Amino acid sequence: MTSDVASAGEAFVWIWLPGATEPVVAGRLARASDSRLTFNYGQSYLARADAIAIYAPELPLRAGLIEAASKMQLPSAIRDGSPDAWGRRVIINRIGGRDEGELAPAELDELIYLLESGSDRIGMLDFQASATDYVPRQRQNATLAELMESAER
């Protein structure tokens, strides 16, 4: 696992607003003292006339820290934008090795999954290490031979 990935303590949430062709930074996820993640909309985002809440019942468009609901590590609207079980397995294999047992899913936290997920998935959110530079994460597609080899394991 790379040190950048291992030390992730925050992630910036970027959003594609309706009709937009480029994302803008909406806010920041940061680790609270109890290891849960809090969300905070950015001042520049709140000042936008076209700003929308990520999910109004849970992440209303307002200033200040927004904590996840009780017993949740992060807001469910953010969790919904993270990789599914298959995507998590791909990330584990990519950063932790392909041999079974090298890295367990529980060894990676949600920030790592968010920051290592592809930028080309469905949804209006992406997660970046920077609040100023949007750098899409694009991986090379696997070859047919690689897919077949992986399926045989």
Give the integer Cα–Cα distance in Å for 64 and 100.
42
Give the Cβ contact number of residue 13 at 10 Å.
27
Domain that holds residue 56: 9-152
Tens of pLDDT, residue by residue over 53-102, are: 999 999 999 999 999 888 888 999 999 999 988 888 888 888 776 665 56
SS3 62: coil
Establish if 3 belongs to a structural domain.
no
- Residue 37: is it exposed, middle or buried by C-beta count within 10 angstroms (0-12/13-18/19+)? buried
Establish if 4 belongs to a structural domain.
no
Establish if 73 belongs to a structural domain.
yes
Tens of pLDDT, residue by residue over 114-125, are: 999 888 878 899
Q: What is the pLDDT of residue 152?
A: 79
Give the Cβ contact number of residue 46 at 10 Å.
13
Handedness of CA 134, 9, 15, 52 (dihedral sign): negative
Number of domains in the chain: 1
Establish if 1 belongs to a structural domain.
no
Give the integer Cα–Cα distance in Å for 135 and 127.
10
